[in-house]
Amino acid sequence: MDIFLIKAAQLLCCFMLLVLLHEGGHFFFAKLFGIRVKKFCIFFDPGFNIGSRHFTGNVKLFSLRGTDYYLGWLPLGGYVTIAGMVDESTTADQMEQDDTPPEQMFCNKPAPQRLLVMVGGVLMNFITALVIYSAIFFTWGEEYVPARNMAHGYLFNEQAEALGFRDGDILLGTDQKTFDRWSPDVYTDLTKASSATVLRDGKEISISLPEKLDLIEMIGHAPLFLEPAIPSVVDSVMPGSPAEKAGMRSGDKILAFNGKRLSTWNELDVEMGSIADQIAAAEGKVKPSVLQAQVVVQRKGERADTLRLMLNDKGKMGVTKHNIFAEYQTQTIHYDLLSSIPAGIRYGWEKMCSYVYQLKFIFSAEGAKSVGSFGTIGSLFPSTWHWLSFWSLTAFISIILAVMNFLPIPMLDGGYIFLTLVEIITRRKFSPRAIERVNTVGFYFVLAIMALGIFNDLARMVFHIY
């Protein structure tokens, strides 16, 4: 199956599950407090016209106990229509015309009950992540590469080298904690430390860190502050790709690209990124010479060979990089049912805290460039269906949805939660029309964020590989 379709299928399954559970959280508390839920829709369902025909945009699945269940066509979320509530599917005028009995209306319920209804979606997403992480630990255990086993070490940018780091250093920890494994959280940990310890030529060396190491500077520019060194070995070659036509094979080691010697994928990333920038600047109409590439490769037991090829119009060769972690010796912690639960809760909580800490990156100029939509999220899934990877990503995306929905953004759950908390504190209730005006502002804000994400996705062309 095509790589794009595999990634898209995983993304669709992930979002369908998380939307179902998120909206199910709102649904549960609404039903618990006797509030009527008129509609439960997985995905959005805006209607549209084709010629003289009008399409409703959804398919009715069934009705049960006063609630109609639908499946929409636009996988950007989902919703429940709660009687007596002004939201993305109900205006203030429509709410006033609702014939639902007053005792079943959301607006007539006490503020604490309304608060729980709105918190229900966020709560369900967070619980879902904890359950998935616990199930992963119970089923597969916790496999990791011990820090000292990363024999190829790390590569560091100029900022890191100025502090004393050197390519090939193995990061062992900071004055705040010991690193037992590689994790992207290492960037956050370094910002909180005053010194770091590395293993260099068999000796442990302490490196002093500045008082305030900026996370945005560390991860907002290429090359990154540090990243695991990945030998320039080809993992696989795509059928019909420029690389295959030139004679490149799985296992080949790339020694040079366009006359520049290299030994790691990290260095090749920089060269390929330069070509991608030229293509973007020329709006895809680059000179053929830009796409001409000369690659020196070497196979085990053979002499180096120079291959000449023409990159595709995206500046790709059609190869995937070596999985460095596959060659390191790993350790696995096995859990029984009882021990997997606290382990999953601890891991999920750490993931959430790390994500919340890094949120400030989004509100910078560089962070805006990192915002993506479904293309960015879909690109995170592996090119083959791998259950462990699928569930790990689903759990993390569930955490992202929980955190983002908790932010006090109008129209999202966090906006309603904020307004309800204000009401509880001030004892003054917002009118339906005031809430509708606030939602209108939130709608355009969310729309702008989505537009930015889609634009960034198109610019990066995330579904293409080298």
Q: 409 or 80: whose pLDDT is higher?
A: 80
* Per-residue pLDDT, 464: 35
Four-residue CA torsion sign, 224, 226, 232, 236? negative
- In terms of average pLDDT, the best of 96-105, 166-175, 288-297 is 166-175
Q: What is the DSSP letter of 412?
A: S
207: amino acid identity, one letter: I
Nearest to 165 by CA among 173, 180, 181, 154: 154
How large is the average pLDDT for residues 159-169?
A: 94
Residue 161 CB contacts under 8 Å (≥ 6 apart), including other chains: none
Domain range list for the chain:
3-139+391-460, 143-228, 234-323
* Per-residue pLDDT, 9: 84
* Per-residue pLDDT, 135: 96
Q: Is the pLDDT of residue 343 over 90?
A: yes
How large is the average pLDDT for residues 371-385?
A: 58
* Per-residue pLDDT, 17: 93
Instruction: Report how far residue 330's alpha carbon sits from residue 325's, in angstroms, rounded to the nearest whole number.
Output: 8
* Per-residue pLDDT, 367: 47
Least confident stretch, 242-256, 333-347, 415-429, 434-448: 434-448
CATH of 234-323, one of 3.30.160.150, 3.50.50.60, 2.30.42.10, 3.90.1150.10: 2.30.42.10
Residue with tokens 């606290």: 342
Q: Is the pLDDT of residue 436 over 80?
A: no
The radius of gyration of the chain's CA atoms, rounded to the nearest angstrom, is 26
Residue 327 CB contacts under 8 Å (≥ 6 apart), including other chains: none
* Per-residue pLDDT, 273: 81
Instruction: Report how far residue 329's alpha carbon sits from residue 88's, in angstroms, rounded to the nearest whole number.
Output: 51
Least confident stretch, 53-57, 104-108, 174-178, 203-207: 53-57
In tens, the pLDDT along 11-26 reads 888 988 999 999 999 9
Confidence of residue 323 (pLDDT cuts 50, 70, 90): confident
Say whether 234-323 and 143-228 share the same fold: yes
Q: Is the pLDDT of residue 404 over 70?
A: yes
* pTM of this prediction exceeds 0.75: no
How large is the average pLDDT for residues 85-104?
A: 83
Q: Is the pLDDT of residue 33 over 70?
A: yes
How large is the average pLDDT for residues 160-178?
A: 94
In tens, the pLDDT along 112-131 reads 999 999 999 999 999 999 99
Residue with tokens 């909206």: 23
Name which CATH class applies to 143-228. mainly beta
Q: 374 or 169: whose pLDDT is higher?
A: 169
Residue 389: φ, ψ to 5°: -65, -40
Instruction: Report how far residue 185's alpha carbon sits from residue 347's, in angstroms, rounded to the nearest whole number.
Output: 12
* Per-residue pLDDT, 435: 80
Crossing angle (nearest 10°) for helices 413-426 and 432-460: 150
* Per-residue pLDDT, 97: 83
What percent of the chain is modeled with pLDDT above 70? Answer: 87
38: amino acid identity, one letter: K
Confidence of residue 31 (pLDDT cuts 50, 70, 90): very high
> Do 242 and 315 meet the contact criterion of CB atoms below 8 Å apart?
no
Q: Is the pLDDT of residue 241 over 60?
A: yes
* Per-residue pLDDT, 119: 95
* Per-residue pLDDT, 373: 42
Q: 290 or 206: whose pLDDT is higher?
A: 206
How large is the average pLDDT for residues 300-320?
A: 86
* Per-residue pLDDT, 450: 53
Q: Is the pLDDT of residue 437 over 50?
A: yes
Least confident stretch, 169-173, 305-309, 408-412, 458-462: 458-462
110: amino acid identity, one letter: P
Q: Is the pLDDT of residue 29 over 50?
A: yes
Instruction: Report how far residue 252's alpha carbon sits from residue 254's, in angstroms, rounded to the nearest whole number.
Output: 6
Q: What is the mean pLDDT of the chain?
A: 84
* Per-residue pLDDT, 47: 81
> Do 357 and 191 meet the contact criterion of CB atoms below 8 Å apart?
no
